[in-house]
Amino acid sequence: MGKGKVYLVGAGPGDVGLLTVKGLRCLQKADVVVYDFHLNAQILNYINGSAEFIYAGKRGGHHEMTQDQINNVLVQKAREGKIVCRLKGGDPFVFGRGGEEAEILSEAGIEFEIVPGISSAIAAPAYAGIPLTHREYSSSFVVVPGNEASTKKDTNINWEELANFNGTIVFLMAVKNIELVTKRLLENGKSPDTPVAVVRWGTRADQTTMVSTLGSVAADIKDKEIKPPAVVVIGEVVKLRSKLRWFEEKPLFGHRILITRQYSPAIERLEELGAEIMEFPTIKIVPPENWSELDKAIEKINTYHWIVLTSKNGVYWFFKRYFELGHDIRDLQGLRFCAVGTKTAEEINKYGIKVDLVPEEFRAEGLIEAFGGKEKIRGLRLLIPRAEVAREVFPEKMRALGATVDVVTAYRAVKPSGHAKRLKRFLSEGKITIATFTSGATFNNFCEMVGDDARELLKEVTIAAIGPVTRKSIEKKGLKVHIVPERATMEDMVDAIVEYFSKGK
């Protein structure tokens, strides 16, 4: 096979929004992704679903793969003619061994590209409200590897010059060696009163920032049990944090919110308010096993008075099949459309179709009232293209009042095949504060995917349900539902979450 190509991509420090556009494009076209531990798991959701995932990271000092093994995998997969994305935290050329990997690829004759990422050396201080340069405090900065602070004779650090450097000093990988770092600087003349900030998990929901001085920081780190990963910032610019801290002031800062459906624009508001999103879809939307029901209904489409669409998914799959069968939008002339919910109505409008009815209430009784009550329902013919499994209350009540209702399967909601190992770890470690469920199926699938301890893992989590039916499914498991919006839309659930926490809950 012809030689493939390797992209060495920096994934940034943690906030998924800091992944570059070019990095995202490389991810989406990759056949193989070789990734590290210190990544936001959300980035992996952007990878082509058919791509091969290879975990090469380390956690707690345990290496999943040696550097030689990683190098060999990159060369081997590229020689198989595959597009390989080597996904690294931060920037691949800032203490990321990207240069070493690029050398190996060059020697092997493998085509490669470097896609820079935002280094934690820059991002973590910025999210803590600490500018590395400022005209009144520092006109330069230096980034130093903290693991070089040892007694070895071949260290590349000139501690005397560093101690007398007038700019900002940023140490990466220094927490474990902080006593040696501070000792070297102090014994070479750096003032013990020099301001120091330690930013752990910078740009993430877990971000914590400790301010100290050079003379006290080692003891403070030990006292507060601060563990890696953390960035240490030394210099007068640390004083600006009290004025410039912005990330930690956001109303939802510190919250990591579990979303059990696919990402939607409504969720962006939660991120804008400081929350970190953990996307773990427990439902995957797929076509019906066969189209016979919907095809039959479409062929006699003009015999109906109303088409009732209950979701954006229903709109998409109905029109997708409608056009695949060679029909024209003009063939729908004379038909009336009912949309359950404003977002469903907006989706229908995209096809140039005016929606005739958007009921104020989403319950069966409200829908029946919207159709004019008992007197006007008899004799109506309705088509409802929807999910394979859904509630039958509305169709049954309409039939009881004399309407003809054809309910056909336009799509299926199935359980994805993904594993929940990382999610379970985050829940058990208390790293998820809010869990959202948009249907009974999303919750039940969640329980199946997580396993027998799902209830125990959710006990201390604030739970949001999109409506009363979803709430009942959750409460059957003995869990408390804290947030239920008045209307069953994602936008209203987001509003309810914001309101709940604005009251100090």
Specify whether 328 is catalytic: no
Half-sphere exposure of 22 (CA within 13 A, CB side): 10
From its phi and psi, is residue 357 left (phi > 0), alpha (psi between -120 and 50) or beta?
beta
Query: For residue 328, what are its two tokens?
Result: 């024209």
DSSP 57: -
CA dihedral of residues 139, 145, 149, 151 (deg, nearest 10): -120
With a CB cutoff of 8 Å and minimum separation 6, the contacts of 420 are 280, 449, 450, 451
Q: Choose, from 77, 173, 210, 493, the residue flagged as catalytic.
A: 173
Query: For residue 384, what are its two tokens?
Result: 């409802």
- Per-residue buried b or exposed e for 312-348, using 16+ beta carbons within 10 Å of the residue's own CB: bbbbbbbbebbeeeeeeeeebeebbbbbbbebbbebb
- Distance separating alpha carbons of residues 57 and 63, to the nearest angstrom: 6
- First CA to last CA distance, the chain: 59
Q: Choose, from 36, 88, 398, 490, the residue flagged as catalytic.
A: 36
Specify whether 58 is catalytic: yes
Specify whether 296 is catalytic: no
CB distance 260 to 427 below 8 Å: no
DSSP 138: B
Q: Three-state secondary structure along 171-205? A: EECCHHHHHHHHHHHHHCCCCCCCEEEEEECCCCC
Strand pairing report for 256-259 and 434-437:
parallel
Q: Choose, from 58, 176, 183, 431, the residue flagged as catalytic.
A: 58
CA dihedral of residues 204, 208, 213, 217 (deg, nearest 10): -100
DSSP string, 144-181: EEGGG-SS-TT----HHHHHT--SEEEEES-GGGHHHH
Catalytic residue ranges? 36, 58, 173
